[in-house]
Every structure is written in C-alpha cells, then in structure tokens.
Amino acid sequence: MVKHISHIGIAVKNLEEGIEFYQKLGLELEAIEEVPSQMVRVAFFPCGDTRIELLEATSPESPIAKAIEKRGEGVHHIAFAVEDLPAALTETEANGIRLIDKEPRPGAHQADIAFLHPKSTLGVLIELCKENH
Ligand code: CO
C-alpha cells in the first residue's frame, strides 16, 4: 500500500530560520506555500524520493502552533505516499487502525492527504498522501 516516504513534516517557530538551517545542510528550497485550511506556511526541500516539509503556524489556532506549545519544535508527522488514497483509508480502517480523516482532504503541494490517529500508530502522527505532481 505504501510506496515511499512522501515527506517528513517538521514544526518550526520561524520558517525563515528553518529554511536557513536546511539550506546550510545543502538542501535546496523548492517552494514556499501557504495552506489557509491548515493555518500553516510550508517550505519544501526535496531530498531523494522524499521531501522535508517545514511547517510554520499562521495562527495560534493552527495545529502546528498547538503542537509546538505541547512538545516544542521538531518532527511533527511522517507522510507515506500511496497510489489510491480512498482505498488506502478503507484498508487501514479495516485493519483496525483509527483514522483522523475518513475522507481525503487537500494538503500542501496539490496532494490529497489524510491523517491516522496517533493513538493507534504507536505515538507517531502518520499522514497518508496521494502525490499529484
Ligand atoms: Co504533510
């Protein structure tokens, strides 16, 4: 079902500082995008088959602002690429894994995304992602 790691989402307080750091590691900034539905600004760095996705909250109500408040900056989620997201969600649920999103919703980078519930994923916030690029 899972093809590869689509991206690793990392919560940062300041996107520009985050960008500077990953550029120092030699990664190249691909794009910056705002996702109003998630109240985040996102910066992408391709890294092989995957991307580093830096997430900065644009509102105190943003899930990213809440995550930073609780746990500080750092890895927020791991996104696995799947070919057919609705089918993957049906299969995941049939396998007894709880979902946060029962239906795909639009994410950054023109992807369709859905989150699994961390209570049934050993504490890791897992996103399933249908890449459309
Ligand atoms: Co993501």
User: Strand (E) positions, 48-111?
Assistant: 50-57, 74-82, 105-106
Identity of the residue numbered 128: L
pLDDT > 70: percent of the chain:
100
Domain span holding position 3: 1-33+60-77+85-110+117-133
- pLDDT tens for each residue of 29-58: 999 999 988 899 999 999 999 999 999 999
Report how far ligand 1's centroid is from the alpha carbon of 78 (Å). 7
How remote is the CA of residue 9 from the centroid of ligand 1, in Å?
5
Q: Rounded to the nearest whole angstrom, what is the distance from the C-alpha of residue 59 to the centroid of ligand 1?
A: 18
User: Is residue 51 assigned to a domain?
Assistant: no
List of the chain residues with pLDDT < 70 = none
50 domain residue, yes or no: no
pLDDT at 78 (0 to 100): 97
Distance 93 CA to ligand 1 centre (A): 20
